[in-house]
Amino acid sequence: TQIVPGETTAQVLYSDLPMLGTLLFGNRRTGRPIDHSIGGFDVFEALAPPDGATSFADASVAGSVVTDAFGQFYLSRRMAQHVDLAADGSANILIRGGMPMQLRMTDRGGTPLMFDGTGIFTGEMIQRETVQFYPGEHIRQSMPRPFFNSLCGGCHGSISDRELDVATDIDILTRASPGILARDEAPVDAR
């Protein structure tokens, strides 16, 4: 991560979004079944309730109040941009620094992907929590598949779910970034 003073945008390089998707929707120490139908993603800005809202009734005017098994919550999003993935699953985006955002997985044609109903989530494959990046932040998110087991598998489980596949590779830090296709591309403007 690098912070460039004076910049108002943040730049995020996703090294392997389908690999990251296995963590966004199931961060348990199990196998990492990669969804090969992920061909892009939509960037959403998560919007705050209106100023002065003191109840869910007040908030429902500007957005949606959703009720689930855990109670009520406010939900309002603005679609910022659709981003196609490079052939290796990477993408490079530029966002407004500090923007609370969520990602929704899509196929190569931009159609939102749905959960298959066998896991804990149903409906669209959209990130359940928001993330933010500082103004001026330049960051890399996720780890390319060939290196995931060596660096991340110890905590998150190997891609194959085999313990023998979790092993440290001392060359991981010198070889992880050069092959990422989106690294040298101009970022997609998702402000």
50-73 pLDDT, tens digit each: 888 888 888 876 668 888 888 888
Which pTM was predicted?
0.82
Per-residue confidence (pLDDT) for residue 40, from 0 to 100: 98
User: Regarding beta strands 9-14 and 137-141, do their DSSP bridges make them parallel or antiparallel, or are they unpaired?
Assistant: parallel
Q: Which of 174, 158, 47 is nearest to 99 (CA)?
A: 47
pLDDT band at 163 (very low <50, low <70, confident <90, very high): confident
> Mean pLDDT of all residues in the chain?
87
pLDDT band at 153 (very low <50, low <70, confident <90, very high): confident
Enumerate the β-bridge partners of residue 106: 40, 112
Residue 118 to residue 125: CA distance in whole angstroms: 13
Per-residue confidence (pLDDT) for residue 168, from 0 to 100: 65
Centre a 10 Å sphere on the Cβ of residue 73 and count the other Cβ atoms it contains. 12
CB 81 within 8 A of CB 188: yes
Residue 175, pLDDT > 60, answer no
Per-residue confidence (pLDDT) for residue 169, from 0 to 100: 63
CB 16 within 8 A of CB 141: no
Rg (CA), the chain: 18
Residue 147 to residue 153: CA distance in whole angstroms: 9
CB 79 within 8 A of CB 42: yes
The length of the chain in residues reads 191
pLDDT band at 176 (very low <50, low <70, confident <90, very high): low
92-126 pLDDT, tens digit each: 999 999 999 999 999 999 999 999 887 778 899 99
For every residue of 11-75, DSSP letters joined together read EEEES-HHHHHHHHS--SSS-----TT--EEEEEEEPPPPTT--SHHHHTTTSEEEEETTEEEEE
pLDDT band at 181 (very low <50, low <70, confident <90, very high): confident
Q: What does the block give as tokens for 171?
A: 């060359």
pLDDT band at 170 (very low <50, low <70, confident <90, very high): low
